[in-house]
Amino acid sequence: MSHLSGKTAIVTGSSAGIGKGIAEHFASQGANVVVNSRSQERAEAAAAEIADETDGEAIPVAADVTDEDAMSALVETTVERFGALDVMVNNAGITTIGPAETFDVDEFRRIVDVNLTGTFVGSKVAGTQFIDQGEGGAILNISSLMSTRGLHRRAPYCSSKAGVNNLTRTLAVEWAEHDVHVNALAPGYIWTEITDQTQGSAGYTDDDIRDRTPLGRFGTVEEMAECAEFLTSTRNFVTGEVLYADGGWKAYAWGAGDQ
């Protein structure tokens, strides 16, 4: 039986992509899932699909991850509905591509605010709830392979995700005494419904990714969800870790300077 059975999890930014895949997988393992988006309409649509396809319960709650009051209300709604919170997945993130020398500073701040500050806010409200409950809990922050690599025209994204990694380590150390486990998942190139769109703006092809990845393919949303299940367990003595699920990209010395 999965450790998620009977547990309650919030997954931010879960109306599509990796976040939705994690929410759907958690629900399939018997978890109560709170689907989050800035748009209530998108959250409702995703929650309905997840409820139809799994045996778990999924409810939609809209909130902006950078708004502490809204995120506190998200946790309160969750606890009122299900009685407790057990898992927080900070998945919501954004990116914009552009050369650093002309990149708009306000846009840089916006990306860092969502990706890094939003992860802190989600962790803070969840951590506070876990400490109050007195039974521990799990926080999973979604980072990126690019948290440890420089990539052309990705200054704010790479920087914000590097910050997520060290935030993860710091919170894991600080909250260990409360049995709150904090880990990060750093996906490589994962196939989602927006992959074609992001590739077009970045100027790389499917073959570019396959050639650079030792496993020779994109990862899948389902594979990331399996990783998320492991990293949100409090029974495995793992905390403060960043798991790179990248098909061997980070380990590949021959191609390290190609990107």
| CA-to-CA separations, 70 to 74, 75, 92, 109, 202, in angstroms, rounded | 6, 9, 14, 20, 33
What is the domain extent for residue 185?
A: 8-244
CA–CA dist 247, 201 (Å, integer): 23
Instruction: Give 253: exposed, middle or buried? Use CB within 10 Å, 0-12, 13-18, 19+.
Output: exposed
State residue 259's pLDDT score.
42
CA–CA dist 49, 47 (Å, integer): 5
State residue 253's pLDDT score.
83
State residue 102's pLDDT score.
97
State residue 151's pLDDT score.
87
pLDDT beneath 70: ranges in the chain: 194-203, 255-259
Residue 69 falls within a domain, yes or no? Answer: yes
- Identify whether the C-beta of residue 111 lies closer than 8 Å to the C-beta of residue 90: no
Secondary structure, 3-state, the chain:
CCCCCCCEEEECCCCCHHHHHHHHHHHHCCCEEEEEECCHHHHHHHHHHHHHHCCCCEEEEECCCCCHHHHHHHHHHHHHHHCCCCEEEECCCCCCCCCHHHCCHHHHHHHHHHHHHHHHHHHHHHHHHHHHHCCCEEEEEECCHHHCCCCCCCHHHHHHHHHHHHHHHHHHHHHHHHCEEEEEEEECCEECCCHHHHHHHHCCCHHHHHHHCCCCCCEEHHHHHHHHHHHCCCCCCCCCCEEEECCCCCCCCCCCCCC
Read off the pTM.
0.96
State residue 256's pLDDT score.
45
Residue 258 falls within a domain, yes or no? Answer: no
State residue 126's pLDDT score.
99
State residue 198's pLDDT score.
58
State residue 73's pLDDT score.
98
Counted domains in the chain: 1
State residue 199's pLDDT score.
58
Residue 3 falls within a domain, yes or no? Answer: no
| CA-to-CA separations, 198 to 94, 190, 205, 233, in angstroms, rounded | 11, 11, 10, 32
Residue 179 falls within a domain, yes or no? Answer: yes
Beta bridge partners of 9: 33, 87
Residue 256 falls within a domain, yes or no? Answer: no
Catalytic residue among 157, 189, 204, 252: 157
Residue 252 falls within a domain, yes or no? Answer: no
State residue 204's pLDDT score.
73
Residue 251 falls within a domain, yes or no? Answer: no
- Identify whether the C-beta of residue 115 lies closer than 8 Å to the C-beta of residue 93: yes
Residue 176 falls within a domain, yes or no? Answer: yes
**What's the CATH number where 139 sits?**
3.40.50.720
The verdict on whether 252 is a catalytic residue reads no
